Amino acid sequence: MSDLIGNLTDKAREGFLRVVSRAKDGAQKVADAATGKEYRNVVGVILTNAAGKYLLLEKPRKQHAWQFPQGGIDDGETLLEAAAREVKEECGDLDIELKPEVVGEYKYRFPSDFTRHKQGIVGARVQFVYGELIDGEVLPDGHEIIGHAWVEYEELPLWMSKKTWNGVRDFA
């Protein structure tokens, strides 16, 4: 974890540590109150640069390929620890500032043939935080992430699937 904290600016590090000491709620799954079905807890990062453009990453798939950096929250991880780890895994070593507040969330169900996660997990609940790029160049790994783009807010619905855009447009 210390290498993740080392990538944050001093200002962000203070907020990051404050959140870590306040909450250890990084459960991997959460049950939907209405259905009892379990969803995987995921964090998404709405990352902007100095020009005010948004970072989108391309996954190696045909549908829903373009999205904000995001990934699962591991057992024992806080939301911000997972956010910092996911940005590093998907984008390389960037100097970023993460805001500690959750700005929105949406849930989606996995396709019926999706078998990557434990049995009983039917989808993901994605909680989003804001982040700002301070310094660095996005370097996708070429496997999990195959491309990236910095886009204007108005362009987001052109890059994202309609389903993804509808899930994030109120807080992106």
Instruction: State pLDDT tens for residues 63-73.
Output: 779 999 999 99
**Residues, the chain:** 172
Residue 136 CA to its chain's centroid (Å): 18
Question: What CATH superfamily classification does 2-168 receive?
Answer: Nucleoside Triphosphate Pyrophosphohydrolase (3.90.79.10)
Question: Quick one: pLDDT at residue 110?
Answer: 81
Evaluate whether 75 touches 26 at the Cβ level (below 8 Å). Answer: yes
User: How far apart, in whole angstroms, are the C-alpha atoms of residue 45 and residue 61?
Assistant: 20
Q: In the chain, what are the domain boundaries? A: 2-168
Question: Quick one: pLDDT at residue 118?
Answer: 65
Average pLDDT by consecutive 10-residue portion of the chain (172 residues)?
A: 42 39 45 66 96 96 89 93 96 95 89 68 91 96 94 96 88 87
Global confidence as pTM: 0.77
User: How far apart, in whole angstroms, are the C-alpha atoms of residue 12 and residue 164?
Assistant: 28
Evaluate whether 26 touches 74 at the Cβ level (below 8 Å). Answer: yes
